[in-house]
């Protein structure tokens, strides 16, 4: 099967490629065309997933399709954007109809959950990698950024942390667990649901935000640096799921919640007065913004227990 036959059969015909709000022209021409309402800006982000680095070389293609789009769409949530569409650049070592069909199905399922359309892309032969570029819209001047946190703000997250890190030994086949422990962890790893609605609710309230992809402490460091402030995290307030605690134990679960990657839960800062205006929104206050710089983790007695390793980093030099 040639490139264009592959695209037409598996992707142009997929439910997620049939257009949607904001898509004036999708697959089939040299470029897609997007319509933006007056007074709105275009939000764009790209993520690449490489086999053996971001996911196991052997895995279920349906789950991989869901995950590939979810991790990219999470960046739109972090900016408070409304999702419009996405492009897919797919590099394949070979063309297998069963694999492609399942991957396209997973992609479409996540696209429906995120209310976004496949609007173009590219395919080529080589080691398996997936690059997704997402497009969203946000009212001019209302995008959430990393650089607005102010001393006195609260530090919050939009859900429990560490489940994806806890799932990793299960994904890699290094450990087994009872279904009541394994299923919620694996579901979060393979099908993280981008917090798009939360991001939109935070517009006009949050002073800074991002999605947690490399670990809570590491990503909070990005907010601290961009905003020129210090962030203090209270260990006792960091939310951890019961399934993760049962699987890793209290100490292991806390470490996964603090430093584990792939959560795709929003971390954000906001004034205390905004809590009343966000009633009904799931959020957990885990700390505060202070004068200074960097990120500090404190125990129940207020002691500094910040670990040296704060999260995952690409291209880290090894001694």
Quick one: pLDDT at residue 28?
A: 79
307 within some domain: no
Please spell the DSSP secondary structure of 41-81, one letter per residue: EEEEEEEEEEBTTTB-SS--HHHHHHHHHHHHHHHHHHTTP
Quick one: pLDDT at residue 4?
A: 63
Give, in order, the Cα–Cα distances in Å from 88 to each of 7, 43, 73, 81, 190.
10, 17, 12, 20, 18
Measured CA to CA, the distance from residue 83 to residue 103 in angstroms comes to 21
Identify the CATH number of the domain in which residue 169 sits: 3.90.650.10
| pLDDT averages per 10-residue partition of the chain, 319 residues | 64 76 86 94 96 89 96 98 96 88 95 94 92 97 97 98 95 93 95 97 98 96 98 97 95 95 96 94 97 96 88 47
Q: Say yes or no: 80 and 189 in one domain.
A: no
pTM strictly above 0.85:
yes
Q: Say yes or no: 131 and 181 in one domain.
A: no
145 within some domain: no
Q: Say yes or no: 209 and 272 in one domain.
A: yes
Q: Say yes or no: 283 and 251 in one domain.
A: yes
Q: Say yes or no: 83 and 12 in one domain.
A: yes
113 within some domain: yes
Final residue of a domain: which of 104, 139, 174?
Answer: 139
285 within some domain: yes
Q: Say yes or no: 110 and 75 in one domain.
A: yes
217 within some domain: yes
Q: Say yes or no: 82 and 216 in one domain.
A: no
Measured CA to CA, the distance from residue 164 to residue 43 in angstroms comes to 26
Taking alpha carbons only, the member of 119, 113, 275, 117 closest to residue 197 is: 113
Q: Say yes or no: 88 and 221 in one domain.
A: no
Domain that holds residue 15: 3-139
pLDDT tens readout for residues 249-262: 999 999 999 999 89
User: What is the domain count for the chain?
Assistant: 2
Q: Say yes or no: 130 and 163 in one domain.
A: no
Q: Which two tokens stand for residue 73?
A: 């769409």
**230: DSSP letter:** E
CB atoms within 10 A of CB 3: 12
Q: Say yes or no: 85 and 132 in one domain.
A: yes
33 within some domain: yes
Quick one: pLDDT at residue 312?
A: 57
Final residue of a domain: which of 87, 113, 139?
Answer: 139
Quick one: pLDDT at residue 177?
A: 95
Quick one: pLDDT at residue 6?
A: 67
Q: What is the mean pLDDT of the chain?
A: 92
Quick one: pLDDT at residue 314?
A: 44
Quick one: pLDDT at residue 101?
A: 92
Quick one: pLDDT at residue 7?
A: 65
CB atoms within 10 A of CB 316: 7
Q: Say yes or no: 115 and 18 in one domain.
A: yes
240 within some domain: yes
309 within some domain: no
Q: Say yes or no: 64 and 165 in one domain.
A: no
Task: Report the length, in residues, of the chain.
Answer: 319
Measured CA to CA, the distance from residue 111 to residue 17 in angstroms comes to 9
């Amino acid at each position: 099967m040639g490139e264009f036959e592959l695209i037409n059969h598996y992707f142009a015909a997929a439910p997620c490629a049939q257009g949607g709000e904001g898509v004036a022209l999708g697959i089939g021409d040299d470029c897609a065309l997007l319509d933006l309402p007056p007074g709105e800006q275009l939000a764009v982000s790209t993520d690449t997933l490489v086999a053996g680095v971001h996911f196991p070389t052997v895995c279920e293609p349906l789950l991989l399709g869901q995950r590939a789009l979810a991790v990219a769409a999470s960046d739109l949530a972090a900016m408070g954007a409304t999702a419009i569409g996405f492009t897919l650049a797919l590099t394949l070592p070979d063309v297998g109809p069963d694999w492609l069909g399942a991957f396209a199905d997973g992609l479409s399922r996540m696209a429906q959950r995120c209310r976004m359309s496949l609007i173009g892309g590219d395919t080529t032969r080589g080691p398996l990698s997936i690059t997704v570029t997402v497009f969203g819209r946000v009212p001019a001047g209302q995008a959430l950024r990393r650089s607005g946190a102010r001393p006195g703000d609260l530090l919050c997250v939009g859900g429990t942390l560490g489940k994806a890190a806890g799932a990793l030994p299960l994904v890699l086949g290094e450990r087994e667990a009872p279904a009541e422990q394994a299923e919620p962890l694996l579901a979060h790893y393979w099908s993280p649901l981008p917090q798009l609605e939360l991001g939109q609710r935070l517009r006009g309230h949050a002073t800074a935000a991002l999605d947690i992809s490399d670990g809570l402490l590491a990503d909070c460091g990005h907010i601290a640096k961009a905003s020129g402030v210090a962030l203090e995290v209270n260990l006792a307030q960091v939310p951890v799921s019961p399934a993760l605690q049962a699987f890793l134990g209290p100490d292991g679960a806390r470490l996964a919640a603090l430093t584990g990657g792939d959560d795709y839960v929003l971390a954000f800062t906001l004034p205390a007065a905004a809590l009343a205006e966000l009633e009904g929104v799931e959020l957990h206050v885990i700390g505060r913004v202070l004068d200074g710089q960097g990120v500090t983790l404190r125990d129940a007695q207020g002691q500094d227990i910040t670990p040296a390793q704060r999260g995952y980093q690409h291209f880290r030099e090894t001694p």
